């Protein structure tokens, strides 16, 4: 089904349109205007987190860095202080400056996809443009866009044989949200020299940022994000909360939703504590399984950059699906790596081995991601009040369809995970390992998507079936 949908979807964008900078620029501007329209006229309350950032930065000078935004790594303070300076300390100006900074970051990433995407630069730009449209105002009213873009840029830099820069950017992303630190092993396809450079860049960036953070705010503030999650409950959007949320919608059990001190809506009731423990165990098991994939991949050797994309997305999905917490901005994490996947694929000729299989996987995965992201927009901000409030009859009546949308989103997200697991199995499964061990995969074939920097920009423009 997803193959047919992806084919029909891509047929809407002809080859001429995908290669037309003017058409893609128009599409980008139209999509971004629609995002701001949704923010201004449908969900103005979605800027609540940005107002929270403003309030915390406003008291920074009174409380000190050690007591400011303890749930985030220390460098986040510097990031969130920038719109405060640009807005001259006014709340509404802060919100506007924050959104414009994220819009500028989006524009830069879109331009980089166009410049480096080769024969599939149009597909990369279209996916990213539609993806952020389906994320909605949340894309510009949270700073998770920073980590998504940095992860995408890291993969693109691997194409340019700039492994050290890719490692450094990953360290910077980890200083904003901790999870990108787990992406470092995925930056090591190709020969040993590139692995060493990526590791040096990652370690150097990490040590530098840790040292500066330690001097700026101290040891306790450096470690505070690691302990912040321990006391959290089961967030209503978590995959693990699907059954309790369904039971609550149909009045099957004594469940209640409350706003926690962690600025998140959590559900409490029969069986919730068991689900929390199960999610904690699944989170650990999922990360260990992902680490095992890294070990097998590195042991096999001669990894391809397109395989790096699969491992990055596997880590992101494990972090999201096995976790007891899930906020709508987490979906943003998937967009940058998936858009970069088109850029990686676009630098290879369609005659290369495994090209068509990789293209089919990426197209199908993109459809699943866009579906899950669109459903997330319907959940938040469009129907969120119906999920969390008990204050009026309308919200109570509409809670069932709103909950069913949430369930559909979680099912679609599991579908995305299944697609990525199948993808990783295709190059880490027993048959792939036996083929590598018996020399059926030549070094040239394994490294076929690591192009020379000059050819990585142009790609193969003679493809006849890319649209």
pLDDT digits (tens, 9 = 90+) for 184-214: 999 999 888 989 999 999 999 999 999 999 9
Give the residue among 379, 409, 400, 378 at the shortest CA–CA distance from 249: 400
Q: What is the mean pLDDT of residues 111-135?
A: 95
Average pLDDT, the chain: 88
Task: Decide if 366 contacts 125 (C-beta within 8 A).
Answer: no
The contacts of residue 375 (CB under 8 Å, 6+ apart) are: 405, 408, 409, 412
Reduced to 3 states, what is the DSSP secondary structure of residue 454? helix
Residue 450 has pLDDT above 60, yes or no: no
Q: What is the pLDDT of residue 10?
A: 59
Residue 355 has pLDDT above 90, yes or no: no
Give the residue among 52, 70, 54 at the shortest CA–CA distance from 218: 70
Report cis status (omega within 30 of 0) of the bond before 228: no
pTM over 0.85: yes
Structure tokens at 289: 């399984």
Residue 454 has pLDDT above 80, yes or no: no
Q: What share of the chain is helix, strand, coil (3-state, %, to 5)?
A: 75, 0, 20
Reported confidence tier of residue 351, pLDDT bands at 50, 70, 90: low
Question: Highest-confidence range of 18-27, 341-350, 437-446, by mean pLDDT?
Answer: 18-27
The contacts of residue 464 (CB under 8 Å, 6+ apart) are: none
Measure the CA–CA gap between 124 and 257, rounded to whole angstroms.
Answer: 39
CA distances in angstroms from 187 to 110, 166, 330, 454, 458, listed in the order given:
21, 7, 21, 21, 23
Each residue of 223-265: pLDDT tens digit?
A: 889 887 777 899 999 999 999 999 999 989 899 999 988 889 9
CA 172-174-176 angle, 5° bins: 80
């Amino acid at each position: 089904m997803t193959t047919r949908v992806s084919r029909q979807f891509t047929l809407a964008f002809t080859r001429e349109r995908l290669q037309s900078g003017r058409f893609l620029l128009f599409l980008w501007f139209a999509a971004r205007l629609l995002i701001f329209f949704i923010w201004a006229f449908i969900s103005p309350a979605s800027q609540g987190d940005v107002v929270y950032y403003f309030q915390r930065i406003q008291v920074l000078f009174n409380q000190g860095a050690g007591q400011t935004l303890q749930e985030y790594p220390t460098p986040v303070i510097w990031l969130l202080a920038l719109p405060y300076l640009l807005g001259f300390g006014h709340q509404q100006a802060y919100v506007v400056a924050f959104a414009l900074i994220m819009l500028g970051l989006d524009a830069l990433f879109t331009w980089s996809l166009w410049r480096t995407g080769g024969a599939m630069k149009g597909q990369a730009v279209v996916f990213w443009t539609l993806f952020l449209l389906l994320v909605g105002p949340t894309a510009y009213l949270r700073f998770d866009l920073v980590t998504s873009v940095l992860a995408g840029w890291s993969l693109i830099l691997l194409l340019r044989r700039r492994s050290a820069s890719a490692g450094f950017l990953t360290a910077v992303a980890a200083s904003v949200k901790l999870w990108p630190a787990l992406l470092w092993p995925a930056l090591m396809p190709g020969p040993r020299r590139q692995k060493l450079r990526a590791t040096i860049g990652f370690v150097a960036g990490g040590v530098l940022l840790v040292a500066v953070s330690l001097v700026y705010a101290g040891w306790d503030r450096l470690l505070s994000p690691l302990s912040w999650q321990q006391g959290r409950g089961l967030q209503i959007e978590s995959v693990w909360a699907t059954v309790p949320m369904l039971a609550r919608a149909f009045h099957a059990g004594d469940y209640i939703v409350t706003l926690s001190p962690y600025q998140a809506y959590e559900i409490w009731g029969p069986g919730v504590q068991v689900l929390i423990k199960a999610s904690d165990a699944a989170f650990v098991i999922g990360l260990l399984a992902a680490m095992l994939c890294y070990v097998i991949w590195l042991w096999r050797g001669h990894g391809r950059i397109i395989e790096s994309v699969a491992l990055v997305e596997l880590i992101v999905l494990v972090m999201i699906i096995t976790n007891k917490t899930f906020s709508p901005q987490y979906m943003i994490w998937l967009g940058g790596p998936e858009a970069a996947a088109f850029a990686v694929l676009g630098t290879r000729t369609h005659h290369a081995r495994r090209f068509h299989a990789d293209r089919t996987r990426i197209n199908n995965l993109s459809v699943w991601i866009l579906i899950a992201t669109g459903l997330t927009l319907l959940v938040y901000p469009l129907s969120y009040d119906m999920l969390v409030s008990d204050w009026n009859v309308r919200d109570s009546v509409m809670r069932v369809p709103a909950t069913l949308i949430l369930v559909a989103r979680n099912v679609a997200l599991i579908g995305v995970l299944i697609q990525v697991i199948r993808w990783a199995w295709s190059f880490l499964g027993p048959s792939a390992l036996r083929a590598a061990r018996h020399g059926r995969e030549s070094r040239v074939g394994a490294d076929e998507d690591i192009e020379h920097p000059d050819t990585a920009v142009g790609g193969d423009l003679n493809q006849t079936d890319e649209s």
